[in-house]
Amino acid sequence: MTRAYNFSPGPCGLPDSVMQRAQAEFLEFAETQTSVMEISHRGKDFLKVYNNAVRLLREIMDISDDYAVLFLSGGATGQSAAIPLNLTASSDDTTAYIISGHWSQRSAVEGKKYCHTHIAADNTGNGHTILPSEWDVPENAAYLHYADNETVHGVEFSTRPDSFVPLVADMSSNIASRRINVSDYGLIYAGAQKNLGPTGVTVVIVRKELIRARSDVPMIWDYKNQIPAESMLNTPPTFQIYMVSLVLEWVKNEGGIDEMEKRCVEKAKLLYSCIDAGNFYTAPAQIGNRSRTSIPFFLADDVLTGDFVAGAEKEGMIGLKGHALLGGCRACMYNSMSVAGAQQLVEYMREFERKHG
């Protein structure tokens, strides 16, 4: 069987070796005579899986004991509500948000339900193609929230925003794709379905001293309760956590985050070089603000977009249709996408341009 190159924004493609191992262990995991999906989340066999996932993430990202690592349900969208409920003392508190695209905008709208939300910066006026370079943060803000990478609009912060208040980062689409200093952040969260595993589990890395956990936070979102319960106040997404542990092992064995970053840069350079080589393709994000992992682009003649996407599928490349908000095309190249996959896409794009340009 030949597997397609999956450029989808999520669920992402997963490394072949990870899928093969999961397949081999699907009916029986670790001599338990049952599947990993069927073993008790309270039993020793699953606790080994869970602890291995936590250990690997701490090792790969160099996460200190000052931080708790949680694996929760509800996606990054769920954390848009959980974060203000855990990092503020009451609805009278103030939080700050940098709006850089679709997902940070949604986070700010959700956060506004639970406390005073101050918009520190907003790039809506330029169509989210240029990242804010300045932001105004109130002195009493509990945190400054931003999205490190915007998958819809294809912009990415090359360095973290400077902030005198704790920094909260949505890293759903670029976590573990470059080296960061976790201690620079108050909280990092990421849906696993782009870089770490399948959909259905969300990673939360939170500095424990910042957790305040209001009385009105639902039990399932209460970090103070989830930490001693090891993310298991309810039955956790066991299979998804198992898959995350396999992906993290793969990252480690491939050379860790430094190797992921090297490949990420190479893949992005290949695609942007093709886009910028002529007038047939354009990328809306301004150079210097462009995402390395989520690359929207347009054909000069939009009538050809459908043919482009359909032709790519015939060549074994799927998920290139653009987001409904923007249209056009989008290539998401997360950690599991190989350099060979990026090269095949570029070759197809050049051939398509020769035929239709």
Q: Residues 239-265: pLDDT tens digits?
A: 999 999 999 999 999 999 999 999 999
pLDDT in tens, 20-39: 999 988 888 777 777 777 77
Full residue range of the structural domain in which residue 324 is found = 257-356
Q: Do both 75 and 134 map to the same domain?
A: yes
Q: Which residues contact 340 (CB under 8 A, 6 or more apart)?
A: none
Residue 170 annotated in active site: yes
Residue 39: CATH number of its domain: 3.40.640.10
Give the number of domains in the chain: 2
Q: Dump the DSSP string for 255-324.
A: THHHHHHHHHHHHHHHHHHHHHTSSSEE--SPTTSB-SSEEEEEESSGGGHHHHHHHHHHTTEE--BPPT
pLDDT in tens, 46-97: 899 999 999 999 999 999 999 999 999 999 999 999 999 999 999 999 999 9
Q: Do both 200 and 323 map to the same domain?
A: no
Would 201 be classed as within a structural domain?
yes
Q: Do both 153 and 275 map to the same domain?
A: no
Query: For residue 354, what is the enclosing H or E element?
Result: helix 339-356
Q: Which of these three, 201, 231, 253, is where a domain ends?
A: 253
SS3 92: coil
Residue 221 annotated in active site: no
Q: Do both 160 and 242 map to the same domain?
A: yes
Indicate whether 43 pLDDT > 70.
no
Q: Do both 312 and 181 map to the same domain?
A: no
Q: Do both 98 and 68 map to the same domain?
A: yes
Q: Do both 120 and 218 map to the same domain?
A: yes
Residue stretches of the annotated binding site for pyridoxal 5'-phosphate: 76-77, 103, 151, 170, 193, 234-235
Would 101 be classed as within a structural domain?
yes
Residue stretches of the annotated binding site: 42, 76-77, 103, 151, 170, 193, 234-235
Q: Do both 263 and 231 map to the same domain?
A: no
Residue 310: CATH number of its domain: 3.90.1150.10
Q: Which one of 93, 135, 148, 194 is the catalytic residue?
A: 194
Would 11 be classed as within a structural domain?
no
Q: Chain-centre distance of CA 277, in angstroms?
A: 29
Residue 103 annotated in active site: yes
SS3 81: helix
